[in-house]
Amino acid sequence: MSEYTTKGRAGLDELEAVGRRLIVDGYLRGDSVLTPGQPVWSLANFVELKEIYIDRPDPRSGEKFFKKLVIQLADASDGAIQLFAELLLLNILPLTYRSATKVAHLQQVLGMMQDPVSVPDDVVRATSVGTFDGGRAFGSYRYSQLWLLIYFGLHLHSLAPEERNVLGRDPLAFRAALAHVKSPNQPMQRGAVLYLAFPKFFLPIVSPVHRRLIRDTFATYLPRPVSGDVDVDLEEINRAFEAEQRGPVDYYSETWESMWRPATPVKLKPKSIISDIDDPTGIDSEFDDEDELDSVATEFSIAYPDQELADALHVDLDWLVHCTELLRIRKQLIFYGPPGTGKTYIAKRLARHLAGADNVTIVQFHPAYSYEDFFEGFRPVAQDDGQVGFKLKHGPFRRIADSAHKHPDQLFVLVIDEINRGNLAKIFGELYFLLEYRDEAIDLMYSSDDAEPFTMPRNILIVGTMNTADRSIALVDTAMRRRFAFVALDPAQEPTKSVLRRWLAARTYPERVANLHIALNAAIGDPDFQIGPSYFMNARVHNEGGLAQVWDTEIVPLLEEFHFGDRTVDINARYGLAALEKTLAAGE
C-alpha cells in the first residue's frame, strides 16, 4: 500500500533519493551507497555472488532466510558481502516494514564481514517510510528477487559505459535493460526497481494487475487513445491528476482505490494461457503475482476468445483475451473511438461468443431514453372494461437480470450501443450503485413495500460503445468512468490499424483502398473525427463505381458535419476521392 498520505512527502523524498543512488551510484557507476567512493558494485563482486549464492544455493528447505545466508556467505569476501547487503537494501527499502526491522536485516548481513561497516544516518532515515506492502511476494520469494538483482548487475556490466550512462537518463531504456534479464520473473521486484530508478516516472504500484486496472479505469483522462505501454499511459494520467489535485495521488487511499479495484474480485485465467498483452518489458508478468491469485475466486465459467473469432474480427487474439480479462475483473467495459472503427460489431460478436446468442441483449441509448425504458416503469394498458390502466412493465435490463438470477451458472451480456448519448444518471438511477457493489441489495424506484430488495446478478457483463465524434463523451461523469473499463479503438492504433489490410488480404483485394484510408485520416488530422475502416469493408466498395459511391454518400457527409460552419475548408479539394488519389500518386 502506498503511504503518500500517512508519512508525508518529505520522508518519501529521502527514500527515493537513496533508492536513486542505489541505481545510479551502484548499478550504473559501481560505487557504494553505504561507503561512498568504494567500488563495491564491481563486476568481480557480482560474479562472486553468482557463484556462491545462485550457483550453489543452500538446499535445506524450511530454514529461515538469514540462517541459511550465514552458511552461503561464509567464505565470501567483504566486498561481495557488502554488495549483497546493498542489494538487500534495494529489495527492502520501499517496503512498509518498520525502520528497525529494515536496519536490523542490513546489520545481520554486514555483521558477516571481517571488517563490518555501519549503516549511514541518511539510509536509516530513508528506511523510516515505505511505499507499498510487499506481502508474501517479498517474503517467500526474497531469495529469487535477489537472484534477479544479481543477474541484472551482471547484465549491466556487459554494457559499454556510454550505454550505462543513457540508462540513468532514460526510464524506458532502463526498463528495457531490466527486461533483458528474462529470469527469474519476479514482476513485483521489477516494479520496485523501476520505481526507485525513476520515481517521477514509474509509480510505486508494483503489481502488474493493479497497474493495468488503474490505467484502464482512468484511460479516458488521457488526451489520446491508450497505447500498448501501461507505464507510459499511467505516467501521463498521474501527471494530469497531480496537476488537478495539486499534489501526489495515493491510488490505494479509500477514495481512489474504490474507483479502480473491483468490488468483487474474480479468478483470473491461469498464467499458462495468458500472452504478453500490453507488456513492453517482454516479461510474462501479467498474472505472476501470487498474492493477487490468492485473493480471487471463481464465479462463473466463461468461453475465452479463440483464434477463429480473432480471425473473423481481423484482430489479434491477445487483444481479445485482454478485453475478456477486463470484463471478468470489472464486469463493465466500453469500446470508444471514431465512427466506423467496429465498436458495435466487436461488442456484439464478443458478447455472443462469451454468452451465446440467446443470453445477449442489445439496446441503444438516445436522449429520450429513460429508466422506465431501460429497467422498469408503469405503462398504459387497455383493461377489460375498455378503460386505460397502468401496469409495471419490465425493460431489457430487468428482463436480463431476472434471467441471470434464474440461471446463475450461465453468463449473460447486455450490449449498450452509443451509451453516452443517453442521460446516464437518469437511465441507471439507483442501479448505478449496483454496478460497483454487486453484493449489495437496494430498494427499486417502483418497488412495493413488501417487495424484496434487488441485487445485481454477478453473471451479467455489460459492454458499451461510445462514439468520440459525438462530443457528448465529454459529459461522462466520474461515477461512470470508475465503473467501466475503457478500451480505445483508434484507426491509427492496433488493433484497428491493421483491420482493413487483413480484411483485404483475406479476400485478395488490392491494398489501394487501405492506402486511401490512411491518406484520408492524415488529411483529417483530429483523431476524434478520423474515419474507421468499416466503411470500406464491404464487397460493393470493390465493384466498379462502388468506392466513389461510398465516398460521396457516406464519407463526405461525415466530414461536412465535422466542418459545419467552417467556410475556409473546401471539402472536395481536401477530402475528395480524386484529390486523395492524386496525393497518393504524387507520393509513389
Tens digit of pLDDT per residue, the chain (588 long)?
A: 343 333 445 678 999 999 999 999 999 999 999 999 999 999 999 999 999 998 876 555 445 788 888 888 999 999 999 999 999 999 999 998 889 999 999 999 999 999 999 999 999 999 998 888 877 667 777 888 999 999 999 999 999 999 999 999 999 999 999 999 988 888 889 999 999 999 999 999 988 888 888 988 888 888 888 887 899 999 999 999 988 888 888 998 888 888 887 654 433 333 333 333 334 443 333 334 433 333 333 345 677 788 889 999 999 988 998 898 888 888 999 999 888 999 999 999 999 999 999 999 999 999 999 999 999 988 877 777 777 777 889 999 999 999 999 988 889 999 999 998 888 888 998 888 888 888 788 888 887 766 788 889 989 999 999 988 765 455 566 667 778 888 989 898 889 999 999 999 999 998 889 999 999 988 888 877 888 999 999 888 888 888 999 898 988 888 887 787 776 678 888 888 888 888 787 765
Task: Name the DSSP letter for residue 453.
Answer: P
User: How far is residue 23's CA from residue 27's CA, in Å, rounded to a whole number?
Assistant: 5
Q: For residue 495, is the peptide bond before it cis, meaning its omega torsion is within 30 degrees of 0?
A: yes
User: How far is residue 548's CA from residue 577's CA, in Å, rounded to a whole number?
Assistant: 7
pLDDT of residue 68: 84
Nearest alpha-carbon partner for 44 in 76, 6, 13: 76
Q: Which residues are CB-contacts of 367 (< 8 A; sequence separation ≥ 6)?
A: 421, 422, 423
Cβ-contact 23, 93 below 8 angstroms? no
pLDDT of residue 525: 83
The CA-atom distances, in angstroms, between 412 and each of 187, 229, 269, 459, 564 are 34, 31, 19, 6, 42
Beta-strand pair 485-488/332-337: parallel
Is the pTM higher than 0.75? The answer reads no
User: How far is residue 39's CA from residue 25's CA, in Å, rounded to a whole number?
Assistant: 10
The CA-atom distances, in angstroms, between 89 and each of 27, 93, 405, 509 are 13, 5, 53, 60
Grid cell digits, residue 39 = 567500488
- Please give the CATH number for the structural domain made up of 299-316+324-488: 3.40.50.300
- DSSP assignment of 55-120 equals SS----TT--HHHHHHHHTTT--HHHHHHHHHHHHHHHTTB---HHHHHHHHHHHHTTSSS--PPP
Positive or negative CA dihedral for 18, 20, 22, 25?
negative
pLDDT of residue 102: 92
Grid cell digits, residue 330 = 470489472
pLDDT of residue 473: 52
Domain boundary assignment for the chain = 4-200, 299-316+324-488, 496-587
User: How far is residue 22's CA from residue 15's CA, in Å, rounded to a whole number?
Assistant: 11
pLDDT of residue 298: 37
